[in-house]
């Protein structure tokens, strides 16, 4: 029996051998909706699949370009392909027992029925996009559908980054944070890509893969811990990490990759041996006037009111779902 055959036969059991007791086996019954398949999103997708989730839907309308190769999972053969299906193909090589769905759309332009189905299937939504409008829409969708969400962002040059946890009914939402904490963060707002006015194409933001991966890795641990908390398996310890953080009302993590960066010298001034690769967990104040989670919040269904396409024929033609290696 070849190693590949053994892996196929034992499926999740073999994949889980090195995290027994840390992550629940029932993680294979959980699903993640990932918005953004770039440097953060592709790295997170890889770790989430290897971490044992059972269902992953990927939304991204970009194509793979040569500059993506230095810090994503894509290879030269993927250049020119749409990121979402290219990523799905890569992830299916890890093991066949996971359902991976790819949606080559901008979030705002997705067919509404497909987006709603993907949201319904997800136990966690991850926003790994540098599009502020998409982040805001993810937040509204998370709130309206009562689905936990993570917002992962890198600061300019990947000198720092952030992971924002939003659990409807438990934590303040992403817009509470974006409207308040970021105001004091000044120039450290996460990077939103700029257009090159010559070509109208989005510019790639410089940043080392090592620094991006540090934030992505932390986001994956938070994601897996949230999912472990969802399945409530007392035999695994994976949920404790996030439960303790949220009990302490800490729902944002900030990262610094360089010495003397931003707020870290101040925050770490009493800690010896500090240099870089620093992190601080923060609480967020709920904005009583928040348009997404406040008492007078926007009530309309954000998916029903977005401008996405609704043609059912197009939906069926464009859906790409594979399970156990066979297209359905």
How many beta carbons lie within 10 A of that of residue 207, not counting itself? 21
The strands making up 124-127's β-sheet, listed across from edge to edge, are 278-282, 252-256, 160-166, 149-154, 124-127, 31-35, 55-59, 99-103, 320-323, 326-327
* Choices 157-165, 168-176, 212-220, 277-285; region in contact with Zn ion by CB under 5 A: 168-176
Q: Any contact of residue 252 with Zn ion (CB under 5 A)?
A: no
- Residue of the chain from 173, 220, 222, 253 that contacts Zn ion (CB under 5 A): 173
- Sign, CA dihedral 12-14-15-17, equals positive
Among 49, 53, 118, 293, binds Zn ion (CB under 5 A): 293
Which residue of this chain has its Cβ atom nearest to Zn ion in the complex? 290
Question: Which range of residues in 67-75, 236-244, 285-293, 301-309 is near Zn ion by CB under 5 A?
Answer: 285-293
CA Rg, the chain, in Å?
19
- Measured from the CB of residue 219, what is the shortest distance to Zn ion in angstroms? 20
Which of 59, 290, 303, 308 binds Zn ion (CB under 5 A)? It is 290
Residues 6+ apart with CB under 8 A from 10: none
**Binder among 46, 175, 205, 211 for Zn ion (CB under 5 A):** 175
CA 79 to chain CA centroid, nearest Å? 23
Inter-residue contact 158 to 195 (CB < 8 Å): no
Kindly determine how many residues on this chain lie close enough to bind Zn ion according to the rule CB under 5 A. Answer: 6
Among 292, 302, 303, 308, binds Zn ion (CB under 5 A): 292
Q: Which is nearer to Zn ion, 157 or 291 (CB)?
A: 291
CA distance 48 to 35: 14
Distance, in Å, from the CA atom of 290 to the CA atom of 106, rounded to the nearest integer, reads 25
> Least separation, in Å, of the C-beta of 287 and Zn ion?
5
Per-residue contact track with Zn ion, 105 to 124, x per CB under 5 A? Answer: --------------------
Stretch that binds Zn ion, among 107-115, 239-247, 263-271, 284-292 (CB under 5 A): 284-292
- Find all residues with CB under 8 Å of 308, minimum gap 6, and list them: 105, 108, 109, 110, 111, 112, 115
Q: Whole-number minimum distance, CB 190 to Zn ion, in Å?
A: 17
| Interface with Zn ion (CB under 5 A), residue from 127, 176, 229, 242 | 176
Footprint on this chain of Zn ion (rule: CB under 5 A)? 173, 175-176, 290, 292-293
């Amino acid at each position: 029996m070849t190693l590949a055959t053994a892996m196929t036969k034992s499926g999740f059991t073999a994949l889980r051998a090195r995290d027994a007791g840390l992550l629940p086996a029932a993680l294979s019954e959980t699903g993640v909706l990932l918005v953004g398949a770039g440097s953060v999103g592709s790295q997170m997708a890889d770790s989430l699949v290897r971490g044992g989730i059972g269902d992953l839907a990927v939304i991204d309308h970009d194509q793979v370009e040569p500059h993506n190769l230095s810090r994503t999972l894509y290879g030269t053969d993927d250049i020119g392909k749409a990121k979402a299906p290219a990523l799905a193909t890569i992830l299916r090589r890890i093991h066949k027992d996971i359902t991976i769905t790819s949606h080559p759309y901008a979030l705002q332009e997705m067919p509404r029925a497909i987006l709603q189905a993907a949201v319904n299937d997800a136990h966690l939504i991850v926003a790994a996009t540098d599009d502020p409008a998409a982040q805001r829409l993810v937040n509204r969708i998370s709130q309206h559908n009562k689905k936990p969400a993570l917002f992962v962002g890198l600061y300019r040059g990947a000198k720092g980054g952030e992971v924002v946890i939003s659990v409807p009914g438990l934590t303040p939402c992403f817009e509470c944070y974006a409207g308040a904490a970021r105001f004091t963060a000044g120039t450290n707002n996460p990077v939103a890509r700029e257009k090159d006015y010559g070509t109208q194409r989005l510019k790639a933001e410089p940043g080392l893969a090592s620094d991006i991966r540090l934030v992505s890795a932390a986001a994956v641990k938070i994601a897996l811990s949230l999912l472990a908390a969802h399945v409530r398996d007392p035999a695994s310890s994976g949920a404790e990490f996030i439960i303790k953080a949220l009990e302490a009302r800490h729902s944002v993590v900030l990262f610094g990759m360089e010495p003397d960066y931003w707020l870290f010298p101040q925050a770490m001034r009493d800690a010896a041996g500090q240099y870089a690769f620093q992190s601080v967990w923060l609480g967020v104040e709920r904005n009583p006037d928040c348009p997404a989670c406040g008492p007078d919040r926007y009530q309309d269904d954000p998916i029903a009111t977005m401008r996405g396409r609704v043609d059912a024929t197009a939906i069926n033609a464009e859906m790409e779902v594979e399970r156990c290696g066979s297209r359905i």
